[in-house]
Structure 1
Amino acid sequence: MHPNPLFRTNDHALLESMIDEIGFGTVFASLPDGPHATHTPVLSDGNGSIRFHLANRNALTPHLAGSRALITITGPDAYVSPRWYDNRDTVPTWDYAAIEMQGQVKQLGEADLEDFLHAIIVKFEGRIEGEPWQASETSEVVWKALLNGITGFEMQVSDWRPTLKLSQKKNAAERARIAAGHDARGKSAIANLMREITA
């Protein structure tokens, strides 16, 4: 989390919308041989509970249940050029949005893991045009083999540490130029978030 309080937010609905839109995060935990990170789809229930799954062979898997972990969601980001500032006698920076969530982790039972998998499939298949693929198209043999190779987890978030660094220290005209610059570089997601947050 960025140390400047200007870049923080208490807008929980915005954070949930970011988790929902991105749907993918990084899980961090400290193991006996040092810190580890892994990447996984995530699903929030909107009430501080984040579900995810890992391969059974992942180094984190046997250590997560009953421990505290950190999950990060990385939102849009973009380089900020001093050419967009009133005073070019400065240095470049970066606009970005990210969420850190920390909490206690528990292991999901098989039924809850299957519920998670079906929910994530329906959610993301629904975002692709055309007829969606359905889990029922997978044979029971293949489904069970894949299910037996993963472990589901749920983290109850106790600490939310978001960073929305969106050029808030700049004046309105500069922020407009920065957003336009992001748009011109194909970075519309960060430009739109910037307009929404700093308007």
Structure 2
Amino acid sequence: MHPNPVFRENDRGLCHTLVDQVGFGMVFAAVPDGPRVAHAPLLRHGDDRLRFHLARGNALSRHLDGQETLALVNGPDGYVSPRWYSDQRQVPTWNYVALEMQGPVRRLARDDLVSLLDDLSDRNEARVAQGSPWTRSKMDGNAFARLLDGIVGFELEITAWRPTFKLSQNKPVEERERVAAGLEAAGSAGIAALMRRTEA
């Protein structure tokens, strides 16, 4: 994460929105075999908790309960070319949005895992434009129980938030607009839009 404090975002609501909108991230922890990462759907549970599930066979699954863990959500990003500045005697860089959330993890009970899966499917099915939403009621109960046996649910209590919104806030307004226009033209419309909505 970038150390420049101008890129730190203290708006917790914005962090919540990032987690909710992206809904997918990485979970990191140290295990006896070394550091490991898992990629998983993430769901906020209240203001300071994050729930996720992993395959039972995942290298992290048997070690996370009680472990200090780091979760990361990435937002839009894009390469920034020096040619977009009025003074091109600069170096290339990268604008990006990233959020680290750290804290202890506990394993979820089976009922809480089922609730997590229902909440995840409800949230994501609502984003699908056509057809009626899928629910687990469309599955055979025995088949669902077998699938449930193959995964483990977890909840991370977020004790540290480390958001970085590197959006050229260290540049004058006119330069930021030049960079946003360059990013948009290069196909990075998401990061360009965030730059235009974020005050320096």
TM-score category (smaller protein): over 0.9
C-alpha deviation, 1:2, in angstroms: 1.2
**For residues 13 and 52 of structure 2, what CA distance do their matches in structure 1 show?**
20
**For residues 61 and 45 of structure 2, what CA distance do their matches in structure 1 show?**
22
Regions of 4+ moved over 4 Å = none
Which residue in the other structure is 2:181 paired with?
180
**For residues 87 and 71 of structure 1, what CA distance do their matches in structure 2 show?**
38
C-alpha deviation, 1:113, in angstroms: 0.4
Q: Write out aligned runs for 1:146-161 (5 A).
A: 146-161=147-162
Q: TM-score, normalised by structure 2?
A: 0.96
Which residue in the other structure is 2:102 paired with?
102
Which residue in the other structure is 1:84 paired with?
84
**For residues 82 and 179 of structure 1, what CA distance do their matches in structure 2 show?**
12
- Identical counterparts, % of pairs: 49
Which residue in the other structure is 1:9 paired with?
9
Q: Write out aligned runs for 1:1-199 (5 A).
A: 1-131=1-131, 132-198=133-199
User: Counterpart of 2:190 in structure 1: which amino acid?
Assistant: A
Q: What's the C-alpha RMSD, in Å, of the aligned pairs?
A: 1.0
Are the equivalent residues in 2 in contact too, given 1:25–1:71 (CA < 8 A)?
Answer: yes
**For residues 41 and 74 of structure 1, what CA distance do their matches in structure 2 show?**
12
Any idea what SS the aligned residue of 1:186 has?
coil
C-alpha deviation, 1:134, in angstroms: 2.1
C-alpha deviation, 1:71, in angstroms: 0.2
User: Counterpart of 1:159 in structure 2: which amino acid?
Assistant: A
User: Counterpart of 2:159 in structure 1: which amino acid?
Assistant: S
Q: Deviations over 1:63-99 (max 9, x none)?
A: 1001110000011000001111011112110000000
**For residues 189 and 158 of structure 2, what CA distance do their matches in structure 1 show?**
30
User: Counterpart of 1:191 in structure 2: which amino acid?
Assistant: A
Are the equivalent residues in 2 in contact too, given 1:166–1:198 (CA < 8 A)?
Answer: no
Any idea what SS the aligned residue of 1:177 has?
helix
User: Counterpart of 2:163 in structure 1: which amino acid?
Assistant: P
Give the gaps of 5 or more residues in structure 1.
Answer: none
Q: Deviations over 1:102-137 (max 9, x none)?
A: 001000001100000000101011111012222221
**For residues 137 and 156 of structure 1, what CA distance do their matches in structure 2 show?**
32
User: Counterpart of 1:126 in structure 2: which amino acid?
Assistant: A
Alignment size in residue pairs: 199
**For residues 139 and 184 of structure 2, what CA distance do their matches in structure 1 show?**
41
Are the equivalent residues in 2 in contact too, given 1:16–1:46 (CA < 8 A)?
Answer: no
